[in-house]
Structure 1
């Protein structure tokens, strides 16, 4: 082998590695989400008795904090325990929002619409998080509204531990929950419906979830209790998916299951873990089936353990989910709440959470990450947040497209273009549902696509399909490229505009 060939080989290898590192460093699409928990006012509102202006201010603080970190999605809990954070025909107003369950906000303020609008104006997605089966958070049923299902349909309720749950085995419960999904999808401009890990409740020692009579009535021949319970959850997931897609096909449906499907000690297909709870055997949820059937757009397993924890290694679990991906996007749920707040000493290290992001990004099947919960990096550990922003989230990223999308984005033309000294005005003529205009710095020659490092602005469209883009972000650029993002998250072909002669 000649020395010239060796030099060539070394050079091309270095170039290839450099390109790979550049791509990994600034991916164009990557889910960057954060859960905003409202139950017992974990993240927001800080208190249900706070006035509306205080609640609005606190919500905007969360949005601004994560926008500055280049996050692109919030997953906001709008149904915590048989209640709602919006005017609903099916549930009372949440006491976590108004201080008293069933109490209407002052001046009937439309909080959810306001939240969605301000989220979208920052270029972020709004995922409406609903807890389907938890009816109460504790045994204090006297605080429940007369219109809460606990009072309207006591026959639907099962007490387990100190909480009440909807009985998943009742068809009328599934019908009610599906109606709730439909109401949120139809009334609000959300990007997704989101379920968490609470299906059948986490097991309590010596407690019995008393659904035996329901099982005996509804079971199929030779069906075990365990399989029957899983079939009930499967039915809800399937019905929710079909309902959402029928009303608004672009609205995604995502689920965040417990991180361990099964241990390999009980099933060779399971992960190399020794988890005390599994989503399949204890919570009766089978996200692998849901992905295979195409019932969910994305799955966010809650992998809330440190990288090398012996009984449940984060790295091993992420690898397992990557290998079992099918027909749905997979993002990883990260336990930001554990940073410097856990008996596992690994969480004391500044780089534990950032290293988890690095693992996700280096695993091609994984499309991003979501942090639980919003307050975890806001109230403390700001050094970790700054490190993440500098090392991994320095540039923005577009949200991934659902693999279940039904339409392709069409060519879009600009009209009524007007360029002033400091602003670009234009509108578009299309029947396509467009949510954002993207503005990239560009040369004269049009490219098929532009890297995220060239992105200068992401502008939310108004109801008249009109855009206003400030030129201050573009400095002295002579040309820019404009493209559009539709409701599915698809990007159109770019168009080059000459800003100056």
Structure 2
């Protein structure tokens, strides 16, 4: 056997064992998200007193950075503590945006509309992140606007630790929050509503969350306090889902619960962990039920521990969620903020976060990752960022489909509008069905589906002009394929066009 043949067999055996597969795999659909935290100006804006142009520049810096990394979703905190990052009938302007709570920002346009528009221009989803129950961030109540619910509805509040919380046990609180959800879904072109892990607050030793009066008033006969609290959160989730879908069925609803549902020491169904608190027993949240009932479109548990941490192994927890997934898009929340900033030495290794991404990609039930938070990679750890881009995110990826129950729409009807030295312009008919146009390099014969490596462009369709403008510089060769994404993320069947031929035809369908 020749030496060259032996080497060939060696490399083939490595490939067949899967050593290279996860790094070489280029999934066409994979959620790649980042949380942009606004509370106490963690990520954006850097300062509430910054002028509008500075805030715009800083937001675009975040978008552009993650676009270059081939991310496809941002989860932007638009309600941090009973406030709003948009004009609202139900909450004052956030001081984290304007420097003074209740003060209107000095933007010349609607700031949230602008943020969503700039995000979509880059082919990135915008998920509006709301904190349902945190009413105040600290005990500095003097900074609150007189229109804040703490001032106008003190009966809704429960003081716990150094914060105030909306009482989840009050029906009027849940009704109020439904109005908040309806307002933002009706007004803005968002892709999703997103909740984090703050339901009932994390427990503080020897401190009582005093909801005894609400429990006495609203609990069912023989219902325990714990079950009643969980039923309150279930009601919030169910009603939020109903509200969203009644207004815009394509808008997703996602929740990012604390990473450990239960330890197996208290429930054999739980994970092999020793978490000090759990999402079911301490935060009174039951994400397994939400998946079973179809109340969420995606779940993104916050698994912020390192791969082999003994008390809470990232690997074990991720596999537990995959095993317990129930027909829901499942993403993993990753603690990028811990890189070289944690007592756990595993986070000093530049491959810790990439290996977590790799693990998620290897498990069929998991469809992507979300990192907390934006500044963790934006301003720090360039070696980690370069490694992720080179090994895992070298190609773009489409987000997972939000609605898998229905067939995608038919390919759009197009009419050639005009062409010049730089662009080919089409008018799209029935454009309200579609959000983006995609184009791929192609041969003469159309394929049923094109791999992500063939994708040359993704462009937001202008709802008003109905014009699709494709740069000729993005069209490699004479043949190219067009397809479209509807608002559920479903892709139409592609159609192949010939660049030279279409310039001599009046229309193409």
TM-score (norm. length: structure 2):
0.94
Q: CA 1:408/1:483 → structure 2, altered by over 3 Å: closer, same or farther?
A: closer
Do residues 498 (structure 1) and 498 (structure 2) align?
Answer: yes
Contact 2:414–2:429 (CA under 8 A) maintained in structure 1: yes
User: CA distance change for structure 1 residues 421 and 318 in 2, over 3 Å: closer, same or farther?
Assistant: same
In 2: Cα distance, 1:469 partner to 1:416 partner: 11
Q: Distance in 1 between the 2:355 and 2:299 partners?
A: 21
1:25 shift after superposition: 1.7
- CA drift of 1:20 comes to 9.4
Contact 1:31 1:398 in 2 (8 A): yes
Q: Which residue of 1 aligns with 2:291?
A: 291
SS at match of 1:409: coil
SS of residue in 1 equivalent to 2:473: helix
Q: Would the aligned equivalents of 2:22 and 2:361 in 1 still touch at CA under 8 Å? A: no
Are positions 1:416 and 2:416 aligned together? yes
Residue 236 of structure 1: how far off its partner (Å): 0.3
SS of 1:468's equivalent in the other structure is strand
Work out whether residues 258 and 278 of structure 1, in 8 Å CA contact, stay in contact via their aligned partners in 2: yes
Residue in 2 that maps onto 1:30: 30
Per the alignment, residue 387 of structure 1 pairs with: 387
Q: State whether residues 249 and 405 of structure 1, in contact with CA within 8 Å, keep that contact through their aligned partners in structure 2.
A: no
1:181-221: per-residue Cα shift (whole Å, max 9, x none)? Answer: 11110000000000000000001111110001110111101
**Deviating more after overlay: 462-471 vs 102-111:** 102-111
SS at match of 2:378: coil
CA distance in 2, matches of 1:490, 1:377: 30
CA contact (8 A) 1:24 1:362 kept: no
Q: Write out aligned runs for 1:161-240 (5 A).
A: 161-240=161-240
The whole-number CA distance in structure 2 between the counterparts of 1:107 and 1:12 is 59
2:447 maps to 1:447: yes
Shift of the alpha carbon at 1:472?
1.4
Question: Alpha-carbon deviation of 1:454?
Answer: 0.2
Q: How does 1:338-357 map to 2 (within 5 A)?
A: 338-357=338-357
Deviation at 1:19, TM superposition (A): 13
Map of 1:190-339 to 2, 5 A cutoff? 190-339=190-339
Note if contact 1:250-1:488 (Cα within 8 Å) is conserved in structure 2.
yes
1:70 is aligned to 70
Deviation of 1:146 (Å): 0.8
The answer to whether the aligner puts 1:470 opposite 2:471 as a matched pair is: yes
What is the CA-CA distance between 1:430 and the residue it aligns to? Answer: 1.3
The alpha carbon displacement at 1:13 in A equals 8.6
Question: 1:252-290 deviations in whole A, cap 9, x for unaligned?
Answer: 000000000000000000000000010000000000000
CA distance in 1, matches of 2:275, 2:47: 35
| Aligned counterparts of 2:395 and 2:432: Cα–Cα separation in 1 | 28
Going from structure 1 to structure 2, the CA distance change for 1:233 and 1:391 (only over 3 Å counts) comes to: same
Q: Which runs of 5+ in 2 are unaligned?
A: 1-8, 502-509
Question: Which range is displaced more, 223-232 or 205-214?
Answer: 205-214
Aligned residue number for residue 363 of structure 1:
363
Tell me the alpha carbon deviations over residues 64-115 of structure 1, each in whole angstroms, 9 at most, x when there is no partner: 0000000000000000000000000100000000000000112563110000
Q: Secondary structure of the residue that 2:233 maps to in structure 1? A: helix
Match of 1:48 in 2: 48
- C-alpha spacing 1:19/1:187, structure 2 compared with 1 (3 Å): farther
Q: Please say if residues 335 and 371 of structure 1, whose CA atoms lie closer than 8 Å, have aligned partners that are also in contact.
A: yes
1:318 partner SS: helix
Distance 1:274 1:484, change over 3 A: same
Structure 1 pair 193–221 and aligned structure 2 pair: CA distance change class (3 A): same
Deviation at 1:18, TM superposition (A): 8.4
What SS is found at the alignment partner of 2:481?
Answer: strand
Cα distance between partner residues in 1 of 2:355 and 2:46: 31
Give distance in 2, aligned partners of 1:193 and 1:407: 24
* Maintained 8 Å contact 1:127/1:191: yes
- The CA distance in 2 between the partners of 1:67 and 1:331, in whole Å, is 19
Distance 1:22 1:142, change over 3 A: closer
Q: Give a deviation string over 1:441-471, Cα, whole Å, max 9, x none.
A: 0000110010000000111110232111112
Instruction: Output one character per residue of 1:319-351: Cα deviation in whole Å (capped at 9) or x when no partner.
Output: 000000002110000000000000000000010
- Hey, what's the Cα distance between the residues in 1 that align with 2:405 and 2:114? 27
Per the alignment, residue 131 of structure 2 pairs with 131
Q: What is the DSSP-based 3-state SS (H/G/I as helix, E as strand, rest coil) of the residue aligned with 1:159?
A: strand
Native 8 Å contact 1:260 1:279 kept in 2: yes
Aligned length: 492
Q: Deviations over 1:107-146 (max 9, x none)?
A: 5631100000000000000000000000000011111111
Q: Contact 2:191–2:251 at 8 Å: present in 1 too?
A: yes
SS in 2 for 1:194: strand
Contact 2:30 2:367 in 1 (8 A): yes
Q: Secondary structure at the match of 1:426?
A: strand
Q: CA RMSD in A?
A: 2.0
Matches of 2:406 and 2:183, distance apart in 1: 22
In structure 2, the CA distance between the partners of 1:262 and 1:48, relative to structure 1 (3 Å rule), is same
CA distance in 1, matches of 2:184, 2:142: 27
How far apart in 2 are the matches of 1:65 and 1:23?
Answer: 22
Deviations 1:414-438 (A, max 9, x none): 2125444321211211154211110
- Structure 1 gap ranges (5+): 1-8
Partner secondary structure for residue 500 of structure 2: coil
Shift of 1:409: 1.9
SS where residue 235 of structure 2 aligns? helix
Q: Partners in 2 of 1:18 and 1:443 — Cα distance? A: 31
**Equivalents in 2 of 1:207, 1:201: separation in Å?**
11
**CA distance in 2 between partners of 1:46 and 1:312 (Å):** 33
